[in-house]
Structure 1
Amino acid sequence: MNTAPATPPFHEPRLTRELRALLANQRAASLGTLNSEGKPFVSMVPFAVEPDSASLVIHVSQLAPHTGFLLRNPAVSVMVMQAEVAGEPVHALPRISLDGVATRLEPGTSAWQAARSAYLARFPEAEPMTQLGDFSFVGIRVTQARQVAGFGAARSLASDEISSVLRPL
């Protein structure tokens, strides 16, 4: 007979559960980069989470301005926001701003393979684009984040905290 005490069930704080849900349910993000003059440039990018490296993955074309900007200056910011609901206040929309460092992943490496797998698991229709020579996978290592879960529900997350959210339970 096993007399060891039962392990209590894992309790995840509400804001962390909501953050996981936000990142799982929203597939597009706003990507902020800096142009060659240091001026901000914001664009939309589909994103996936690569859990082993606890990073975000984007698939970008060399023709897109943001690709050149992030290759010259890898400091980026990404915002993921819940979609607006008609009749509800937009000021309380759940969202997260993630600051990080972008790295173009070299084709064929294990990091590239993991990023490709994570991205195609989320966007299987994008598989033909992965064959195009002007597209690259970029990993974004998050260094800090700011979550707003609604009125009076906001917090800052350090890199280790956001990494734990990006990894599976």
Structure 2
Amino acid sequence: MPMLPAQLDAVRDLLTSSRVLALALVVDESPVIGLLPFAVTPDSRGLIVHASRLARHTKGLQPGAAFDALLHEPMVEGVDALRVRRLTLRGEVLPLEPDTPVHTAARALYLMKFPEAEPVTTLGDFAFFLLRVQGGRLITDFGAAANVTEETLAALSAH
């Protein structure tokens, strides 16, 4: 069942207004979580992250590795935590090879959102990764949820 327009707007808003995501991965058979800035690809099917190879969570950013990511609207005083809009996304990791057109495009997209990160993008221990989204779940209120599907992602890029 397709998302309602208000739900689609909520997904779009969370993807475009959020600056960081909580990224869950598996490293050495144990769960690991990191907090990373991200940019959304133009087709809304991917998230570009830039991570230090020195960070523990980066060891989980291997080709084809599964990930879960969480985005949420800011917490506001007086709002029940169960009513905070949030979006979980899941998919697979694709490391981006330096000096390729895909890497160059991903870096440019990331720097459009985070121009202050330009010096860090030149450091050798950092790398860009594409988190290819395969699905997820949108929670817009207590007891109000909808699945994020390939059709949802296609609808996002169509508008």
**TM-score normalized with structure 2 length:** 0.91
How far did 1:73 drift?
6.4
Residues 58 and 137 in structure 1, CA contact (< 8 A), matched pair in contact too? yes
Residues 38 and 110 in structure 2, CA contact (< 8 A), matched pair in contact too? yes
Aligned to 1:24: 16
Alignment of 1:22-61 (within 5 A): 22-36=14-28, 38-52=29-43, 54-61=45-52
Larger radius of gyration: 1
Q: Classify 1:163/1:107 alpha carbon distance in 2 versus 1 (closer, same or farther; 3 Å).
A: farther
Classify the secondary structure of the residue corresponding to 2:60: helix
Aligned to 1:88: 79
Give every structure 1 segment of 4 or more consecutive aligned residues whose post-TM-superposition deviation is greater than 3 Å: none
Aligned to 1:157: 148
Q: Classify 1:83/1:40 alpha carbon distance in 2 versus 1 (closer, same or farther; 3 Å).
A: same
Aligned partners of 2:12, 2:59: CA distance in 1, in Å? 30
Aligned to 2:67: 76
> Could you list the per-position Cα deviations for residues 47-88 of structure 1 after superposition, in whole angstroms to 9, with x for gaps in the alignment?
110114731000011101111122276111110011100111
> Could you list the per-position Cα deviations for residues 124-165 of structure 1 after superposition, in whole angstroms to 9, with x for gaps in the alignment?
000001111111110011111100011232111223423442
Aligned partners of 2:147, 2:158: CA distance in 1, in Å? 20
Classify the secondary structure of the residue corresponding to 2:76: coil
Gap runs ≥5 in structure 2: none
Number of positions where the alignment pairs a residue of Structure 1 with one of Structure 2: 156
Aligned partner of 2:138 among 147, 160, 163: 147
How far did 1:168 drift?
5.9
**TM-score normalized with structure 1 length:** 0.86
Aligned partners of 2:35, 2:78: CA distance in 1, in Å? 25
Residues 145 and 156 in structure 1, CA contact (< 8 A), matched pair in contact too? yes
How far did 1:33 drift?
0.4
Residues 43 and 153 in structure 2, CA contact (< 8 A), matched pair in contact too? no
Q: How high is the sequence identity, in percent, across the aligned residues?
A: 36
